[in-house]
Chains A and B, each alone.
Chain A
């Protein structure tokens, strides 16, 4: 039996980070994610860890990349406008294959938007926010317990695939308090990055012959290396206009896209015999679950597909779903973002109906139920 606590989603995220072995956090105050930093500010120094309130959002990602390169499991947390600012260095982390975790507690936008209101409108920014082609792993927990466990998973994926991992949830679950169980140490797996075992003179930080995820050496460990945000060769040094750039960027994509089965996770509710599916994540997934239960009580065969991994997108799963249901309903707190992905994967095999809302309130189960009846 672990420890039972009553925690906010943001606090559970901080607990998850600690469980996963995070010893370095850098951030900048922003609503509605600030509690992640506040919680870690009380905890990290007591365990010898570092918490830094940096001068801005950009510096926060820079600092955690620096710390991760020195071997520390590192995290930052932010919301909307701060997430926009972080994109530059997130791209650096992706190209240079630095394990870090970025939390985005989504709020209304664009611009300052609604700092205290929920949103799911950063979801495309999670995928395409930084420039260039790049791999993205993004997790979308919906419950406080799940924020804890998915934060642990985010660190594991960052370490396993040597890449930044984004956790995106919304203001509602970030601030909601629920009972959670923090498991004993060792109950959830905690992974560390693969470090080199070769002699330092033979080490190449981006050696593709070592597999799609080459070992990563800590700065100051004797493995002197050069890391650059320029496209680079396997030894880490810049290359210009080389076929290597193409093959290396394909490798970066492959290490995520090629491991979809390991990375993609989702929850379903009464989906097996469903004729109408609801595809929803985060707070909309909670409403979706409730709506599906209400529909079943009225004899309508509805089911829920709730992705915990939104990027890489569960393409095959959605395609299979589209082949066997009459309609997929996509409620989201945006004016229609993730619905585009559902449409892309469904390829016209079933009807797709979005429910969009950006007025600062969640999509209610009643709204979804109404739509279920409409398409049924």
Chain B
């Protein structure tokens, strides 16, 4: 039976703002399927975003949703999580939102290992503002603010997350959809800060200026370039160019911030009771 999205979509709020050929709708549906399969009640979920095309996603979802300022989703999410540590807090963000203007919040959330899932929908460009280069725009690509080809080096988002201390790091694509559902579930199930980069395509402001003639070309590029981590690691060093690994790229167990914090609270309150008793 076809999946019924109605339970999670806000009545009357579609159609979405995304352009024809944008892959964000694929991620949107994958997120809803993942959460539904996990059985998390809608009232227990908060979905927080910053600014950009990706950040419009929460408006369409019938959970507790918060569309904040550019780059600031993670601090707002941190406030929600620490106020209600028993709830699930998810962040959806774009490449510019998460790693440029929100870069400081991103790395510190990774370091803190607070139980928030950060989904970075990387479309390699500032789409909403019309195609300026972002920290993930490949070198050489055309952007409105790099009309002679991008000379600004890039971030590798999973490496950035891992280096900053995230305890679960993954990468999926908008092409590999069943795998994407599983990755989103894995990211949400993980206790601690999880970062899932999802490779997306922006045909309007990135693709058509960079030799992707159609939106399909961008999906085919994902199909050809993505490799499961295990296969990627087996590649001879000279054959990795143009390929990127997908799947769970990194995972470790570490104390989660809200648990550690409230364990401290409990300890202090017991000490106090001991003194008063």
Contacts and interface: CB of A to CB of B under 8 A. Distances in A.
B84 A237 contact: no
Q: Determine the interface band of chain B, counting residues with CB < 8 A from chain A.
A: 35 or more
B116 to A, nearest CB: 11
A226 B46 contact: no
B69 A66 contact: no
Nearest to B258: A50
Nearest to A61: B75
Q: Is the interface of A mostly helix, strand, loop or mixed?
A: mixed
B33 interface: no
Given A69-B66, A70-B84, A224 B79 contact: no
Contacts of A70: 79-80, 83-84
A226 B48 CA distance: 10
Given A89-B72, A92-B69, A222 B82 contact: no
A56 B101 CA distance: 13
Interface string A23-66: 01010000000000000000001101010101110111111111
A50 B82 contact: yes
B64 A219 contact: yes
Nearest to A225: B64
Q: Determine the interface band of chain A, counting residues with CB < 8 A from chain B.
A: 35 or more
Interface string B214-249: 000000000000000000000000000000000000
B10 A220 contact: no
B268 A89 contact: no
B63 A59 contact: no
A178 interface: no
Given A48-B269, A88-B69, A219-B84, A224 B76 contact: no
A227 B65 contact: yes
Interface in B182-227: none
B65 A62 contact: no
Nearest to B88: A220
B64 A224 contact: yes
Contacts of B108: 54-55, 59
B41 to A, nearest CB: 10
Interface string B80-112: 111110010000000000000000110110000
A225 B264 contact: no
B78 interface: yes
A65 B76 contact: yes
B80 A219 contact: yes
Q: Is the interface of B mostly helix, strand, loop or mixed?
A: helix
B68 to A, nearest CB: 6
A183 interface: no
Given A59-B72, A92-B68, A226 B80 contact: no
A224 B87 CA distance: 14
B86 to A, nearest CB: 8
B269 A58 contact: no
Nearest to B77: A66
A88 to B, nearest CB: 6
A42 B272 CA distance: 13
B105 A59 contact: yes
A156 interface: no
Contacts of B104: 55-56, 59
A71 B46 CA distance: 14
A62 B79 CA distance: 7
Given A220-B43, A220-B87, A66 B66 contact: yes
A88 B43 CA distance: 29
A219 B46 contact: yes
Contacts of B43: 220-222, 224
A48 B261 CA distance: 10
Contacts of A228: 59, 66-67
A55 B107 CA distance: 9
A54 B104 CA distance: 10
A163 interface: no
Nearest to A68: B79
Given A67-B79, A220-B46, A228-B67, A58 B72 contact: yes
A376 interface: no
B252 interface: no
B69 A229 contact: yes
Interface in A191-225: 219-222, 224-225
Interface centre among A54, A62, A221 (most CB of B within 10 A): A62
A225 B59 CA distance: 9
Report, nearest first, the 5 A-B pairs whose CB atoms are least far apart. A66-B79, A62-B75, A70-B83, A59-B75, A63-B79
18 contacts: A56-B104, A58-B72, A61-B75, A62-B68, A64-B79, A65-B68, A65-B76, A66-B79, A67-B80, A70-B83, A89-B68, A92-B69, A224-B65, A225-B65, A226-B65, A228-B59, A228-B67, A237-B59
Given A72-B83, A74-B79, 11 more contacts: A46-B269, A48-B265, A54-B108, A59-B108, A64-B79, A67-B79, A67-B82, A69-B80, A224-B64, A226-B59, A228-B67
Interface of B: 10, 13, 42-44, 46, 48, 58-59, 62-69, 72, 74-84, 87, 104-105, 107-108, 261, 264-265, 268-269, 272
